[in-house]
Structure formats: structure tokens, C-alpha cells
Amino acid sequence: MASNQLPGATVLASSGAASGLAFAPSALGPPTAGGAVAKEAAGSVGLRGAAKGLGEEPAHSAVEGHAGLALLAAGLAGCSALRGASRRSSATARPMAAKRRPTAVTRTGTARQAVATIARTEAEVGQKLHGWTCERIEELEELKCTGVLWRHDKTGAELISVEQPLEENKTFGVVFRTPPEDSNGIAHVLEHSVLCGSRKYPVKEPFTELLKGSMQTFLNAMTFPDRTCYPVASCNLQDFYNLVDVYLDAVLHPRALKDPRVLAQEGWHYEIEDKSEPLTFKGVVFNEMKGVYSNPDSVQSRTLLNNLLPDTPYGVDSGGDPKEIPNLTFEYFKGFHERFYHPSNAKFWFYGDDPPARRLELLDEFLRDFEKKEVTSEIAKQPLWVEPRAVEHAFAVGKDEDISKKSMACVSWVMSDDKPDLEMSIALGIMDYCLMGTPGAPLRKALTDSGLGSRVIGGGLYDGLVQPTFSVGLKDIKESDAKAVEELVMKTLTAVAADGFEPEAVEAALNKIEFENRELNTGGFPRGLSLMFAAVQNWNYGKDPFEGLRFEAPLRALREKLVEKKEPLLEDLLRKRILENTHRLVVTSKPDVEEGPRVEAAEKERLEQHRATLSEADIQGLIDATKELKELQETPDQPEALATVPRLELDDIPKESKKIPTELGRLGAAEVLKHPLLTSGVVYVDLAFNLRDVPSHLLTLVPLFCRGLREMGTKSSDFVQLQRRIDLSTGGISTAPLISAKRDSDEPMAYLMMRGKAMEAKVPSLMDLMAEIATGVTWENKDRFLQLARESQAAGRSQLLSAGHVVAAGRLGRQLTVAGWASEQISGLSQFEAVGQLIELAEKDWPKVESQLRELQACIFKSACVVNLTADADVLPRLDSHVETFLGHLPDGAATSPFWVPEYSTTSEGIVVPSQVNYVGKAANLYKEADYKLHGSAVVTSRLLGTTWLWDKVRVVGGAYGGFCNFDVRSGDFKYLSYRDPNLQQTLDAYDGTAEFLRSMEFNDDMLAKSIIGTMGDVDQHQLPDAKGYTALQRHLLGETDEMRQEMRDQILGTTADDMRSFADALEAVKSGSVCVVGGEDAIQGASESLGLKVTSPFAAS
């Protein structure tokens, strides 16, 4: 996951639209952007503003192998909304704020906003139906739909049933309050375990069976610091009911309560196969959390949360501390489920166009077996301190690292003794955005300009828990500067409170929040689940769940107070909630080269001490238990058990590919694509500029060039003013490189993507701003550029520590194709190393760097670009004049240079980082090495391997957090990868056994159908209008026609068992492919000779 993971929040799995990429879509869907998020401007936002913050966002995924690289690189979009404004910048590291979350609401691909009337319910307050009583009906004006609160008569369970007949992406979720008592990881382990078989579905892992054969758009389970959530989504009604049925049976009647081996597999167990071997700990969650605790950002954020709210459930780690997880017993495991996984402690959610009455009936079929029970699960509030506190802790670094500037300091507050009401929450969000939401916001700018550290951390405001918090600090500081960071924060906040917020900044924040909420865009995350998380942010704490779904009235009231009456509301809040607030905590995080060895030695000593207490019979018992568990893991489920897991039929899958309406034309030298889609007045503009004229030696500079375009300022506005103008007039502007292989071509597709969005009336301003950025950016500010470079360097370091599989995939890909080489230059280890060299060069010879940036600008921005417009049909014709004006600002010309010709070298690598786990990769190009001819069955087969062989061998048996493969149909690259893996050679052996597994596998009709259906679920991902338009642009740039897509679809649907077995011949080539391992020094050095690894240590002091 992303480096800035949240304390305690965990995710079991993710698939489908949650990540925008799962299994095969990397092969069939649009490519992902390199270096930055190309979709930034049109990405997800929060209801009433950005979703971010302390302890809320799911930070880990147990089934990441099935979610593909995009999920693991970018982080799962998973939770609730914050009442504030969004901020999107790779400059902001947020150990407490974590990854960008989807928002509370989004547009659907249908005409939701085109309908002015509210979809009303037939329910009535007091009505009794299917064992439920209607308690409340709310017309949700902002969403143009109706929400109904029902209470189950027999158990007291609550249900919010939102009836939205225009939403085809149906969503369901159940939420249990699960406050942990210690850091043994019980809530997290249980979240994994309940999906390992149940009363109705007596298979080892019905979750993976659903992954194999569902059209789901979301399938997940999440552990938060105080609750556990089980959400699903699908556009297919029968598939949706299947998902709901399996999940309900799983959470209420799990096999895990009767079989201790589930806890052993998912949580922890002693492992030993021979008396001559040492005793070890194994378990999926155990190894997952060892990976989490190897990341300094994660350790810092958990330390902060635990100490900021120590007298609450947040004082312990709900995800589990690896030192404490082995204390979790089976009896405690069962007792926790009995206490909290009861309907009386449950909150259910439905949203979409499924029949409302059937929701009640379906739930009652499960709940009628239970009686009402008193459940003590209220979340305790933290009493506020009368004086500030301070905490110090150590984190592990490599023995060769320069630790002179590797400390972190963060200042945090608990802002009130209760959860604030809606208007106050939005006001706090506006204050937060004005302080930290943009690079030029005063608090963020002061910290960045100070030169004390490399990157702002903390995330600012977060109100997703029982009390709101505010956190801010710096990473990569001198240990002696921790006090200076605290003093700078207090000094800056004091000055802002005295001088007041700039009126234009406040209005820009309000405009941004209002745009985001009217646009209602959650990106690839199902809108209904975003709404559920928004409701749960209140519902979980006994507050009004419907309040979280509104924004119109409070925004209107705040605009009157802040803009029209100019009341000092924000300044008063700043003084009261922060400056005069004595519940303040300073966390100082210090690097320690002995911490990693100390942790490993303590674990080894603990195991040795335990073994010393065991008799020979006891040891033999553990050997037998290890053998029994492995036999269970490797024994296939019986066909009759597998048949109980419901699935769709192949006949339910549409035979024809979905087409995106596209009109092709030209304006001057530019090619123009137009997509008439229902966007409710929002205009999405994508501009593609060819990168082929970029010299190969400047390619590593492109990501920082893209950041500089938005954050260096222009001839008419410094970067503070520029961001403010963007917020006042648009929904955002982003720039990022996009590189992909093309089918049947050695040349890559390589573009700089500039993306923006605005309401139609503001399109002239949007196009003017985009032209100003492209042609008027100023590169003279050396200090500002170095700030951006150091932030990028810090982000690269975090990626190496927390997303080593992504780094390994890039290093392998760079050896195989031009596109792979170029992608690694802008987003992998090469980029990390290049940024370090660039910082040194800029400090010594800034004119040379400035000249290179100007050279990039001259060779990229030319009028012969591609313009992509997505808007309502009646709006599109009115956009031509604005596009022509924009093009008139660009120099004439087109990119004509030949593409880069890198020198390939086949090398196996070991990349040493301070980590307790490994990320193991192996790859080859099947087109070149195996002379494989593409057939759609390869996509089906690759997906099957991820849910069978690799799942079983790497994750279930091996104990890794994820094991998966990826076949890129464009390039021919086939990659095996593992995630948070305790093993190395054992994992490589599993990879090498894949071909034989395929040859010997007995395919039946059910298995084949599941594999095809699941693949088609990836292919037919649910998309919002802006995503459809952007996907069409990418297909156009790649030269992928509707006919090509239909041919691939036909091949997928027609896949046979023989097709899948024949793919084994191609996979033989991967046995002799290159290996790349990112991991701890002992593991890599131990395998370096046998694997022929070229060992490097990117963090070693030069």
C-alpha cells in the first residue's frame, strides 16, 4: 500500500472498481499513469470535501494479489468523507492521513443529476414489513433520492435503505462496532477469518470463490480502529444477491469459530516441520503487520494515534502489533465474535435500484434466528488533557543509512470532547483547507519553506473517529530540530489567527468544496459505499446518519457568514480548537539502526524461550500440527461444497462489448475527441502531449517537470496565487506522464496528460489556466524546485519500504520492453536514484537544471496534440472556440523524433531495504521468449492462477500477504509478484511450479465458467462519465479499436480448458526469467549467490 498508511485500519481484500484495476484489467483496461496520478483532477472527492485523516482509511489488503499492481501502488480507495476541501498533491505525505479516499457521493453513468425530482419511497413511518419497522424517512435533496431507517423487530438491528432507481451499481454493507481491548489484532484477524467458510458455504475460502466467478464491482472487508465493515457491490442483480448472501452467512455463522486452523492460518501459529529446524511464527495477518511495522511512516502514525487518544480503543492497534498477535488465543477469538458479531450490534446498508422490499426480506431470513442482545460496544471518548504531552519512539533504518536527517516530528490535537455537528464539521474543514490544503496554504508553506524537513506530514483535520483531531509536522528532520518544528507550527498558527485568513483563500476553499459536492465524483469507488461510509461516520457514534449525506444548507450558511458577513469564524475556531487547546501531543520519531535487529532478536529469543519449555512430545505435536495445516491448505475443496457457492451463468454475460460514444474531428493541428455523456454540466478536458521528442537522458526529469507545471508558478501568478485561481474557477488541473506498451509495436505510447474540469460557464477560465501553465510556467525559483524534489525523494523512499512489489515489477519490466524501461525511469528505483542526483546537480549548477526544464517544455507543448472532451451532448458544440483559443497559445509543430532505444540487460537484482518481509518478483516477455501469440484465454488463465495456485502456495501456505501474477497483453510481459512475504526461495519455487500446475489441473465446467465470468467482471468495469471519456482517449492513443476489443471478448468468452493448459508452454519461459527481490539484508544476502543477484542498497549513505 501507499507509504502513508493509517494506524490500525485494515482491509481484507479489494477487487474490481475499488481500485480501478483488478487481475486482468492491466492487460485489457487503460494503462495506469507513471510517476503521478494522471486522473488527479477528476479523481474522487469527499461529500462536503476531501476524505483523509487519522485512523480511518483502510491501509492493508489481504487479497492484494488479486487486486493487481494499481491497487497496491496507489492504495485502496476505501472510506468515508471529511467535511472539508480536497487536497491532491504528491507533496503531502500523511502518515495519519494516508491515501486519498473516495468521497461520500458520486455521479453515476446514468442520468442521476439530470433528474430534478426526488425518487420517493413507498414506505411509511410505522409500517411493518418482513420483520422490520420503518422508523424514519428522509428525502435526500442533494442526492435526489430517499433514505429509510428500519429497525428489526426481533434483534433491534438497524438498516438504512436508500432507494435510488437510477443507480445500477447496487451496494450493500454491514458494519459492526468492534472496539479492541489490546493490540493482539483480534478485530483484524477476525475480519480475515470469517470469510474462510460458513454454515451455508462449507468451503475453505468462499471469498476467493466469489472473486473467481462474480461480476462484482467491489468486494472487500475492512477493519477500522473501532469498527469492522463488510461491503459489496455489483451492477448485476442476481450477482448482487449472491454476494450479499455469502457475506451475511460469513459474518453471522463463520466456520472459523469451530476450526482453530482458520485462526492459525489467518492470524498466527507456531511453525516447524522438523526437530532440527528452529521454531517460527507464521500467519497472514502476522506477516502483514510485520510489513506494516517495517514502514517508519506507519510506525509513526500508530504511535501518534495510540498516544493522542490513550484512554479509548484508539490507544491500541486494531490491526495488531506483531509482538502482541501471538498472544491471541482461540477462546478470545471466539468470544470476540460472540460479543460483537451479533445483529443487535449491526448496522446494515443498501443502496441502488434493487427492490427495497426484497432487502428487508433477505435480511430477515438471516436475522430471525437471533434474539435481541445487549451489546456494550459504545466507543469511549477521550477526556481532554489539561496540559500538553510529548512522546518519543524509534523506528528501524538500514545500517548503512545516513540518519542525520531522518527524524520526524508531528504536533497533534484532539479538537473537542465530542463529534461536532454538520456545520461545525464543514467549518473545521474549511479552516483545515485554508491552513494546509494547497502548497501555498500558510501552515503548509511555512513548514515547507523552513528547510527543516523534506515533507509535510500529519494530514491536518480528521473527524472520522469519535472526536476530531488535527495533526501536522515534518519528516526527514534533524533530531535536534523537533522542538523547532513545534515552535514553527505554533508561531504560524498564532500569526494566522491574529492576521486572519485571506478572504480570497476562504472563498476559494468554499468554491472547491461546493464544486466537488455538486460534481459528486467518487472515481472508481461505488457511490453507494461512499455514502455508507459517510453515514457511518455519524451512525457509529450514535449520531444522525443522514446528516452525513447533506451539504447544501450548511454550505449556504457558512458562505453567508464567511463571505458576505465576513465573520471571524475560522479565526475563532483556530484559537479555541487549536491554539488555546491543551490536549496537544508532540510525537518525535527517531531513526535507530539497532531497532530492526533488536525486534528480530526479541522475536527469535521469544521463540527460543518457548521452545525450551516444550517437551519432545510437544515439539512433535507442533510438527504434526504444521503438517496438518499444510495438508488442509493444499487439499482442494470437494466439488459438492464448491457447488454451494452461488455464481452467475455464462449466458448472463453480455456478448457485445460496451462502446463509448466518440466523435472524431480536428481543430487546426490538434486531433479532437468528443464524448456526449451525461455529466450534469461539468466539462472534462484531457490534453495529451506526445513525449517522443523528450531526450532519453531527460526522461527521469518528467515527473518533477509535471509537478513544477502546477507548483512553480507562472509569469502572472506565483504558485500560491495560481492554486487559488484554479480553486476559484475550476474543479482542478493535473499533469502527469502516461506510458504504456502498444499491441504489435515496439514503440510505446507516451504522453504528458494535462487534465482539468469545470462547469460550462467556467470553461474559458479553465482553458486559459491550462494554457498559462503550459506556456507561462516559470522555472527560476531554485528553492521551490528543490522543495518539490525533496518531497519526491521522500515519497520514493516510502514506496521502496511499503510497496516493494511495485518497485520489483518496475525493475523487471525495464529489462523487457521500451515501455517498461521508460515507465521505470519515471516511477521506479531509477526515478528515486535520479531525483537524488538531480538534487545534487541543482544545488551545484541550477542554471543547467533550469535549462533542462525549459528544454522539456519546448519539446512537449506543441499545437499538434490530442484534445479529449467529455460533457453533455448539448454542451460539446459550444466548446470548440475555447479549444481553438487554447491551441492558439501553443507553438506550432508536432513530435517527430524516434522513440528511445534503451540498452537492455538481463539482470537479477536484490534491493536491500530495512524490512522484516520481502517482495519477490520474477518475469519474462512471453512474446519474445516463448513466441506466444496473444489469445484472450491468457487473461482468463492469469486470473485463475491468482485465485488458485499462487493464492494457495504463496499466501495460504507460504503466509505472504499476497501472491499474484500479471500478464500485460500489450507488451507480453508476464510477472509473478508477492507482497509482504516471509519467504524468498520458497516463493520462487512456487512460481516455477505454475506451468506444471496448469498442465495437471482438472478443469470442470464450473471452474471454467467462474474464471470467465470473473474475467468479464474485470473487463466490464463500472465507470463514471469522466472515466469513460478518458478510457476512450487511452484506447485511441493505443490504437485499440472496438473491433479489437470485441475479438478479445469473444476469445475470453470462448476460452476452453485446452486453451488454459496450453498457456503452460508459454509460462516455461518465465522459469529462466529475471528475479528481483526487495527485502531485508539477511534474506537477500542469503540468496544472492544461488540466484546470482546483483545486490544494491538504495538507502546506503554515499
Q: Cell for 996?
A: 506444471
Q: How many CB atoms lie within 10 A of CB 378?
A: 13
Whether the predicted pLDDT of 41 surpasses 80: no
* pLDDT tens figures, 831-886: 999 999 999 999 999 999 999 999 999 999 999 999 999 999 999 999 999 999 99
Residue carrying the nine cell digits 534474506: 1083
Whether the predicted pLDDT of 489 surpasses 90: yes
Quickly list DSSP for 13-74: E--GGGTT--STHHHHSPPPPSSS-TTGGGS---TTS----TTTS---BTTGGGTHHHHHHH
Cα–Cα nearest to 407, from 599, 595, 592, 585: 592
Instruction: Tell me what pLDDT residue 69 has.
Output: 20
Q: Spell out the residues 6+ positions from residue 462 whose beta carbon is closer than 8 angstroms to its own.
A: 52, 53, 54, 55, 56, 82, 96, 97, 468, 469, 470, 471
Q: How many CB atoms lie within 10 A of CB 906?
A: 10
d(Cα 7, Cα 303) in Å, to the nearest integer? Answer: 8
* pLDDT tens figures, 618-628: 999 999 999 99
Residue carrying the nine cell digits 435526500: 140
* CA distances from residue 867 to 504, 708, 760, 1061 in whole angstroms, order as listed: 32, 22, 16, 44
Residue carrying the nine cell digits 491543551: 582
| Dihedral class, residue 940 (left if φ above 0, else alpha if ψ from -120 to 50, else beta) | alpha
| Dihedral class, residue 644 (left if φ above 0, else alpha if ψ from -120 to 50, else beta) | alpha
Spacing of C-alpha 1094 from chain mean position: 31
What single letter denotes the amino acid at residue 217?
T
Residue carrying the nine cell digits 509460462: 1067
* pLDDT tens figures, 460-478: 999 999 999 999 999 999 9
Residue carrying the nine cell digits 507553438: 891
d(Cα 353, Cα 120) in Å, to the nearest integer? Answer: 12
What single letter denotes the amino acid at residue 591?
P
Determine which one of 40, 191, 516, 519 is catalytic: 191
Cβ contact 15:22 at 8 Å: yes
| Residue 1102 binned pLDDT confidence (cut-offs 50, 70, 90) | low
Is residue 13 packed enough to be buried (19+ CB in 10 Å), middle (13-18) or exposed (0-12)? Answer: buried
- 911: enclosing H helix or E strand: strand 909-912
Cα-Cα-Cα-Cα dihedral sign, residues 25, 26, 31, 35: positive
Q: Cell for 233?
A: 457491490
* pLDDT tens figures, 875-898: 999 999 999 999 999 999 887 888
d(Cα 341, Cα 822) in Å, to the nearest integer? Answer: 49
Cβ contact 167:237 at 8 Å: no
d(Cα 863, Cα 71) in Å, to the nearest integer? Answer: 35
| Residue 58 binned pLDDT confidence (cut-offs 50, 70, 90) | very low
Cβ contact 862:893 at 8 Å: yes
Residue carrying the nine cell digits 461536532: 420
Instruction: Tell me what pLDDT residue 29 has.
Output: 55
Whether the predicted pLDDT of 1006 surpasses 80: yes
Cβ contact 754:722 at 8 Å: no
Query: DSSP assignment, residue 560?
Result: I
Virtual torsion, Cα 350, 355, 359, 364, nearest 10 deg: 170
DSSP E strand boundaries for 677-812: 682-690, 732-740, 749-759
Cβ contact 31:817 at 8 Å: no
d(Cα 1057, Cα 553) in Å, to the nearest integer? Answer: 59
- In percent, the amount of the chain with pLDDT more than 90 equals 85
DSSP E strand boundaries for 500-604: 584-592
Q: What is the mean pLDDT of the chain?
A: 89
Instruction: Tell me what pLDDT residue 67 has.
Output: 25
Cβ contact 264:192 at 8 Å: no
Residue carrying the nine cell digits 452467512: 249
| Residue 191 is among the residues annotated as catalytic for this protein | yes
* pLDDT tens figures, 270-279: 999 999 999 9
Side-chain-side CA neighbours of residue 376 (13 Å) = 2
Whether the predicted pLDDT of 30 surpasses 60: no
Cα–Cα nearest to 1065, from 920, 929, 906: 929
d(Cα 478, Cα 482) in Å, to the nearest integer? Answer: 7
- 137: enclosing H helix or E strand: strand 132-140
* pLDDT tens figures, 658-688: 999 999 999 999 999 999 999 989 999 999 9
Q: Cell for 918?
A: 520481502
Instruction: Tell me what pLDDT residue 31 has.
Output: 53
Radius of gyration, alpha carbons of the chain:
27
* Mean pLDDT score, 230-240: 97
Instruction: Tell me what pLDDT residue 37 has.
Output: 23
Quickly list DSSP for 671-715: EEEEEE---TTEEEEEEEEE-TTS-GGGGGGHHHHHHHHHHS-BS
| Residue 147 binned pLDDT confidence (cut-offs 50, 70, 90) | very high
More confident of the two residues 216 and 121? 216
d(Cα 745, Cα 632) in Å, to the nearest integer? Answer: 46
Q: Spell out the residues 6+ positions from residue 750 whose beta carbon is closer than 8 angstroms to its own.
A: 690, 691, 692, 694, 737, 738, 739, 740, 819, 822, 899
Whether the predicted pLDDT of 115 surpasses 50: no
d(Cα 253, Cα 374) in Å, to the nearest integer? Answer: 19
Instruction: Tell me what pLDDT residue 119 has.
Output: 74
* Mean pLDDT score, 955-978: 96
* CA distances from residue 94 to 337, 410, 1021 in whole angstroms, order as listed: 33, 11, 30
d(Cα 608, Cα 317) in Å, to the nearest integer? Answer: 26
Determine which one of 266, 271, 547, 1040 is catalytic: 266
Cβ contact 1075:921 at 8 Å: yes
* pLDDT tens figures, 521-560: 898 899 999 999 999 999 999 999 999 899 999 999 999 9
| Residue 387 is among the residues annotated as catalytic for this protein | no
Q: Cell for 1040?
A: 485499440
Cα-Cα-Cα-Cα dihedral sign, residues 502, 507, 513, 515: negative
Residue carrying the nine cell digits 470442470: 1004
* Mean pLDDT score, 738-764: 96
d(Cα 565, Cα 574) in Å, to the nearest integer? Answer: 19
Q: Cell for 22?
A: 483488478
Cβ contact 846:782 at 8 Å: yes
d(Cα 132, Cα 343) in Å, to the nearest integer? Answer: 13
- 559: enclosing H helix or E strand: helix 552-559
Quickly list DSSP for 940-1002: HHHHHHHHTHHIIIIIIIT--SEEEEEE-TTT-EEEEEEESBS-SHHHHHHHHTHHHHHHH--
Q: Cell for 763?
A: 470553461
Q: Cell for 240?
A: 448482487
Side-chain-side CA neighbours of residue 124 (13 Å) = 3
* pLDDT tens figures, 906-954: 899 999 999 999 999 999 999 999 999 999 999 999 999 999 999 999 9
Of 52-61, 507-516, 618-627, 629-638, which gets the smallest average pLDDT? 52-61
* Mean pLDDT score, 209-227: 93
| Residue 211 binned pLDDT confidence (cut-offs 50, 70, 90) | confident
Q: How many CB atoms lie within 10 A of CB 633?
A: 16
Interior/surface letters 912-928, b for 16+ CB within 10 angstroms, e for the rest: bbbbbbbbbbbbbbbbe
Whether the predicted pLDDT of 108 surpasses 70: no
d(Cα 1095, Cα 1097) in Å, to the nearest integer? Answer: 7
* pLDDT tens figures, 82-95: 223 332 222 222 22
* CA distances from residue 291 to 294, 297, 983 in whole angstroms, order as listed: 5, 12, 13
Cβ contact 993:1067 at 8 Å: no
d(Cα 925, Cα 816) in Å, to the nearest integer? Answer: 6
Whether the predicted pLDDT of 14 surpasses 50: no
Question: What phi and psi, each to the nearest 5 degrees, are found at residue 351?
Answer: -155, 135
